[in-house]
Amino acid sequence: MSLEKIKQDRLKKLDGLKSFGVDVYPGKGLAGRILIKEVLENFTDFEQVKREIVLAGRLRALRLHGALAFATLQDVSGSFQLFFKKDELGEEVYSLFSDNLDMGDFIEAVGELFITQKGEKTLLVKKFKVLAKALNQLPDKWHGLSDVEERFRRRYLDILMNEETKKCFETRSEIIKNIRKFLEARDFLEVETPVLQSLPGGALARPFKTHLNALDMDLYLRVAPELYLKRLLVAGFEKVYELGRCFRNEGMDKAHNPDFTELEFYWAYADYEQLMELTEELFEFLVPELEFEYQNHKINLTAPFKRITMRDLLLEHYEIDIAKADKKELVQALVGAGEKIDEEMPACKMIDELFKTLRPKIIQPTFVTNHPLEMSPLAKTSPDDKNEAARFQLLIGGMELINAYSELNDPQEQASRMKMQEHHRQDEEIQRFDQDYIEALEYGMPPAAGWGLGVDRLVMLLANAASLREVILFPAMREKEEKQK
């Protein structure tokens, strides 16, 4: 039977229910409902006291046998067998059930517990109520393995039909809950800063642009919350964090999505060395066993994590000293690595491109430290080398997971670096010089360290997912019609 024919059949059943005066989509909440998990855990007690049980959920199986029927009811906590008898319900009510309900419909079932001859825990239904009629048939087999795009496009079915997908997002929720627990135990205050910003500060990523009609001004979806969070250090808060969505109008691949979840925190009177120690503590808290598997790699989280400067890393792999190399040497190294480059690219950008070629090879937790200062306009200078930043990136499983540094709190130096960025800005690039932020620094910001985590990538690692789209509930997708052209 075609899907359209099935839908038409269900619409007739919908009309049949309405003709009996049934409110097919009632608005009143349920009283006394018990989760299936609770019934299973306390079955003997409930059965002995002959307590009336109220269950509600979706019908996932339906087996009609004349005057008898069995069904499987599913809620968020589990599944349970229902038993319907014409003698118990009466012929008219039983017919209402048997003639007009389908798999996928939501019902409330009220009755008594018993165990069948086959030993299955069951609810004898004394009365029931339709809560929502499903007009589309659930797939018998969800084609998640053969049609990945369809899984992401109709995530609600993916979760409904695929237990692994459901567990992945439960894992995501648990990770985020534990991150909050970790930070709040250390007295970090959760805050919220603007998503719509007049200047896209905190990162050099390309932003999404919009227009605010009320004030007739252009705004940008934030690429990072950094500059607003540091204003709060000026305001007197010493430990703040924000966990929220950021937006970057750039490429998409297995490790990038246009909108993503980022966690940033700022810690007054700390430096990037202390942040590395706190990062190790966080991973021990999230993964107490200190080991997990990711894409056929066993990742060991035992502290201390490996630490290597960017200079030493590139010297080790490319035999090029970025502290002394000229652009010609950098170009040769990039070409040798198989990269296509623009020879007009700034030297610091070439160094970053070389670093990117090495990221996929770094599997075990590694702090890559002391980036060239030109790559780090918001970071303090390293106390050991004025040409390097007091900064690190944490790489695990071939991906950058965390970016962190000791924060630049000298307003004159910060203004100078922002002006230098503006000097090199191409015509089509967006202004980044933030005079209001400079003014805030002029009121005094304590020495501090800042830390940013890609939450989606963390979940991807801990859930052993091959792509960010596996761990984002509704990832960005090309319109279906456009895909078919």
Q: What is the pLDDT of residues 205-215, one digit of tens each?
A: 899 999 999 99
HEC secondary structure over the chain: CCHHHHHHHHHHHHHHHHHCCCCCCCCCCCCCCCCHHHHHHCHHHHHHCCCCEEEEEEEEEEEEECCEEEEEEEECCEEEEEEEEHHHHCHHHHHHHHHHCCCCCEEEEEEEEEECCCCCEEEEEEEEEEEECCCCCCCCCCCCCCCHHHHHHCHHHHHHHCHHHHHHHHHHHHHHHHHHHHHHCCCCEECCCCCEECCCCCCCCCCCEEEECCCCEEEEECCCCHHHHHHHHHHCCCEEEEEEEEECCCCCECCECCEEEEEEEEEECCCHHHHHHHHHHHHHHHCCCCEEEECCEEEECCCCCEEEEHHHHHHHHHCCCCCCCCHHHHHHHHHHCCCCCCCCCCHHHHHHHHHHHHHHHCCCCEEEECCEHHHCCCECECCCCCCEECEEEEEECCEEEEEEEEECCCHHHHHHHHHHHHHCCCCCCCCCCCHHHHHHHHCCCCCEEEEEEEHHHHHHHHCCCCCHHHCCCCCCCCCHHHHHC
Instruction: Determine the pLDDT at residue 145.
Output: 46
Instruction: Determine the pLDDT at residue 427.
Output: 55
Non-local (6+) Cβ contacts of 61 within 8 A are 70, 71, 72, 103
**What is d(CA 210, CA 415) in angstroms, rounded to the nearest whole number?**
27
The CATH H-level (homologous superfamily) assignment of domain 3-132 is Nucleic acid-binding proteins (2.40.50.140)
AA identity, residue 339: E
Instruction: Determine the pLDDT at residue 1.
Output: 67
Structure tokens at 83: 């038993």
Q: What is the pLDDT of residues 284-316, one digit of tens each?
A: 999 999 999 999 999 999 999 999 999 999 999
Give me the phi and psi of 212, to 5 degrees please: -95, 110
Query: Is the peptide bond preceding residue 288 cis, with omega within 30 degrees of 0?
Result: no
In terms of CATH architecture, what is 152-305+364-475? 2-Layer Sandwich (3.30)
Question: Where are the domains positioned within the chain?
Answer: 3-132, 152-305+364-475
Spans of the chain below 70 pLDDT: 1, 141-146, 423-429, 481-485
Non-local (6+) Cβ contacts of 86 within 8 A are 67, 68, 94
**What is d(CA 8, CA 2) in angstroms, rounded to the nearest whole number?**
10
